[in-house]
């Protein structure tokens, strides 16, 4: 299958948009170390996720500039499936922005508990406890469909899944300790990354 120029350009837009969006909110809500009560430190799995993200970024750049170098990893996806990947990533960006607006100043550049932290339950947080991470999965996971390349797509997916796992474990632990029964009640009626179909489970 030929690597169409349009999909190379779309991948570039996706990555630039993702980085720009994160940079915008990091600048809008800069880290406040003096207000930090607890912050996640990088463990073994976090370091593995960073290595995989570097592989994903490098393979993405190769796909954009000289795709024939990784043509051995081509996935035989039809054009309509590749375009659906773009729609999935756009939905991810929409969810990401919605989540940021709901969190506002409660958002941080990395998992941490701040002195004035509140338990946000509005916007997408009404249904899901970690919608920003859901958005990460949609945006970066869509690279598999957009590129139709196993190396690029699986590198992004694996790095995001590992990173999210570490972040969720840390965040849910500190939120449970901070908000106690309120967070437990909130957890019962919401899903981690996707809405619960049965709120009683």
Q: What is the pLDDT of residues 85-122, one digit of tens each?
A: 999 999 999 999 999 999 998 998 888 888 888 999 99
Query: Domains of the chain: which residue ranges?
Result: 5-26+42-189
Q: Is the pLDDT of residue 2 over 60?
A: no
Confidence (pTM):
0.92
Q: Are 88 and 138 in contact (CB under 8 A)?
A: yes
Distance between CA atoms of 147 and 143, rounded to whole angstroms?
6
What pLDDT score does 201 carry? 39
- Topology of domain 5-26+42-189 in CATH is 1.20.120
């Amino acid at each position: 299958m030929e690597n169409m120029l349009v999909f190379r350009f779309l991948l570039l837009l996706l990555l630039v948009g993702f980085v720009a969006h994160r940079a915008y909110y990091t600048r809008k809500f800069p880290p406040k170390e003096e207000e930090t009560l607890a912050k996640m430190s990088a463990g073994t799995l976090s370091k593995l996720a960073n290595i995989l993200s570097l592989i994903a970024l490098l393979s993405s750049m190769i796909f954009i500039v000289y795709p024939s170098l990784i043509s051995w990893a081509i996935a035989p996806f039809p054009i309509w499936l590749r375009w659906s990947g773009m729609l999935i990533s756009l939905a991810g960006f929409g969810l990401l922005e919605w989540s940021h607006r709901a969190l506002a100043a409660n958002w941080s550049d990395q998992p941490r508990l701040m002195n004035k932290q509140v338990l946000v339950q509005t916007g997408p947080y009404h249904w899901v406890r970690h919608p920003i991470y859901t958005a990460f999965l949609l945006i970066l996971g869509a690279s598999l469909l957009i590129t139709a390349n196993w190396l690029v797509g699986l590198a992004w997916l694996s790095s995001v899944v590992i990173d999210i796992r570490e972040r969720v474990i840390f965040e849910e632990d500190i939120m449970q300790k901070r908000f106690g029964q309120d967070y437990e009640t909130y957890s019962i009626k919401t899903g981690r990354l996707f809405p619960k179909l049965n709120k009683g489970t």
